Amino acid sequence: MSEGETGAARRRARDLGLRPGVFPPGALNAITDVAGVLVGQVTRIEGDFTRTGVTAIRPHGGNLFRERVPAGLATINGFGKLAGATQLQELGELESPLVLVNTLSVGRAVEAVVDWTLAQPGNEAVLSVNAVVGETNDGRLNDIRARGLEAADVRAALEQAAPGPVAEGSVGAGTGTMAFGWKGGIGTASRVLPAALGGFTLGALVQSNYGGALLMDGHRVGEALGRFYLREHADRGDADGSVMVAIATDAPLSDRNLGRLALRAMAGLARTGAAFSDGSGDYAIAFSTHPGVRRPQPRYEDWPNERMSPLFVAAIEAVEEAVLNSLTMATTVESRDPLSRRKRKGEAIDLDAVRAVLARG
């Protein structure tokens, strides 16, 4: 059995010899290397049709509505349904966790996040909550019209959110997603800056569901393996899709500089060969966990503009590697089309084939 078909043999990008960028990863090489960040996931695989899930990111374990974190948003192609985006842009802060689901589950997820937030001790008099819910469309493998994801799944992901290792690949909100013609999913990575540059940690988490011509640390893997957008000048359907990126850092950044940081996620996606096509929704949200910049009363002067460049590089590198991990850790997912009942298959990229491409240089 090839490594494109078995979960037991899946490997992260670094285990294949890929080393994107110049900065070292954190201990877990995950968004949870940023102290205080919690991730929870629920995966729904049921019968022949349901292949979906939810991924929840909590910037800290306290009452986020009372201790809001500064945040910035970047969009390069806005074909998506990012709930809460305009208030996030207007105020530059997160007052709810960031939840990722499939396209047609955004409404239920918003209600679940609102209910969960209102139920937090201290929020008894709250009359408005800006629930931030992102999505990608997993309808190629999941019966998305059935809307099998329940509010209880979202609440479970929020309650189960924890520090530590983050499951990757065909899990959570990445259960039914595709990327570059192969099975995509959830991926994460991190970078640690040296003390001379601030000593900060930055982590990224992606929900990959987009396309183009796959690059892996500069290696033209998509072309070598014969799967890429515009092959033979014909659209093979491997470009449209979406990607959601979450970036966390413990650097004391303003929402303005977090917006600049989020924009650099797009450079990380470009390094993977993203096409940023007409039908793709490409979003990134960056937030700071530094206690001194929490709202409503920041107590810390934010990091100066002229020292932002190393963080920009770290964001680019972490996003690139997170995407690679989403592919190399994904397992093959099979389902049936709810109308035709025909079998559908999201094939995991074959790691032996990837190694062969890398060996050729």
- Which domains can be identified in the chain, with CATH numbers? 17-334 (3.60.70.12)
Q: Is the per-residue pLDDT at 73 higher than 90? A: yes
Structure tokens at 85: 């985006």
Distance set, CA 294 to CA 18, 71, 119, 335 (Å): 36, 10, 21, 44
Pairing between β-strand 201-209 and β-strand 280-288 as defined by DSSP bridges:
unpaired
Structure confidence at residue 200 as a pLDDT band (50, 70, 90): very high
Candidates 96, 208, 242, 254; catalytic one = 242
State yes or no: is 254 an active-site residue: no
Question: What does DSSP assign to residue 33?
Answer: G
Distance set, CA 178 to CA 50, 61, 156 (Å): 15, 31, 25
Locate the DSSP E strands across the chain. 38-46, 50-58, 69-78, 93-94, 98-102, 132-136, 178-179, 182-183, 185-192, 201-209, 241-249, 280-288, 333-336, 343-346
State the pLDDT at residue 346.
97
State the pLDDT at residue 1.
36
CB under 8 Å to 140, separation ≥6 — which residues?
176, 178, 344, 346
* Contact criterion met (CB below 8 Å) for 20 and 204: no
Candidates 33, 238, 282, 302; catalytic one = 282
Cα separation, 150 vs 316, in Å, equals: 34
Structure tokens at 160: 């189960």
State yes or no: is 282 an active-site residue: yes
Average pLDDT over residues 333-346: 96
Average pLDDT over residues 135-145: 97
Q: What mean pLDDT is reported for the chain?
A: 94
Count Cβ neighbours within 10 Å for each residue of 29-55 and write b for 16 or more, e otherwise: bbbbbbebbbbbbbbbbeeebbbbbbb
Q: How many residues are listed for the chain in this entry?
A: 361
State the pLDDT at residue 231.
58
Structure confidence at residue 241 as a pLDDT band (50, 70, 90): confident
State the pLDDT at residue 234.
41
Q: Is the per-residue pLDDT at 248 higher than 90? A: yes
Structure confidence at residue 243 as a pLDDT band (50, 70, 90): very high
State the pLDDT at residue 238.
54
State yes or no: is 128 an active-site residue: no
For helices 255-271 and 309-328, what crossing angle results, to 10°?
50
Structure confidence at residue 261 as a pLDDT band (50, 70, 90): very high
Q: Is the per-residue pLDDT at 269 higher than 70? A: yes
Q: Is the per-residue pLDDT at 3 higher than 60? A: no
Candidates 190, 208, 280, 326; catalytic one = 280
pTM score, whole prediction: 0.96
State the pLDDT at residue 228.
79
Lowest mean pLDDT across 11-15, 187-191, 229-233, 292-296: 229-233
Average pLDDT over residues 213-234: 83
Give the amino acid at 113.
V
Q: Is the per-residue pLDDT at 242 higher than 60? A: yes
Question: What does DSSP assign to residue 255?
Answer: H
What are φ and ψ of residue 19, in 5° steps? Answer: -140, 70
The residues facing 322 across adjacent strands are: none
* Contact criterion met (CB below 8 Å) for 39 and 207: no
Q: Is the per-residue pLDDT at 282 higher than 90? A: yes
Provide the percentage of residues in the chain whose pLDDT is more than 90: 91
State the pLDDT at residue 291.
94
* Contact criterion met (CB below 8 Å) for 109 and 40: no
Average pLDDT over residues 36-52: 98
Q: Is the per-residue pLDDT at 8 higher than 60? A: yes
